[in-house]
Amino acid sequence: MSRTCKECDSPFSGRSDKKFCSDDCRSAYNNRRNSDANNFMRTVNNILRRNRRILYRLYDKGETSIDRDRLIREGFAFGYYTNEKKVPTGSVHRYCYELGYEERNREQYRLVKI
């Protein structure tokens, strides 16, 4: 039984559940199909990685307190974090992977690590 490839429309034969003539066509089809989601996810992951690098660099220097303006100058995006945790004191820690921050007031943050 001959079928046509979902990517390049060339005829092929093989298993009855086979949809592509080659691995290259399968990869190209799935890459194209998922490209919109991948672009969005890539953008978000790049922001999260940048936030983590900023926090890591500051934490590695031994800084435990940082101004909001300095974080913004460094390129930190406050709306992006991987998780948040409410601590017994009532404050919230927002993390970029294992490194995070706690808002002390509107202009001052404390760096934290899991």
Burial of 2 (0-12, 13-18, 19+ CB in 10 A): exposed
**Distance in angstroms (rounded) separating the CA atoms of residues 10 and 50:** 44
Q: State the Rg of the chain over Cα.
A: 23
pLDDT at 54: 97
pLDDT at 38: 78
Between the CA of residue 39 and those of 27, 43, 90, 93, what are the distances in Å?
Answer: 16, 6, 36, 28
**Distance in angstroms (rounded) separating the CA atoms of residues 94 and 80:** 9
pLDDT at 48: 97
pLDDT at 6: 94
pLDDT at 36: 75
pLDDT at 102: 95
pLDDT at 1: 61
pLDDT at 12: 93
Task: Tell me which residues of the chain have a pLDDT lower than 50.
Answer: none
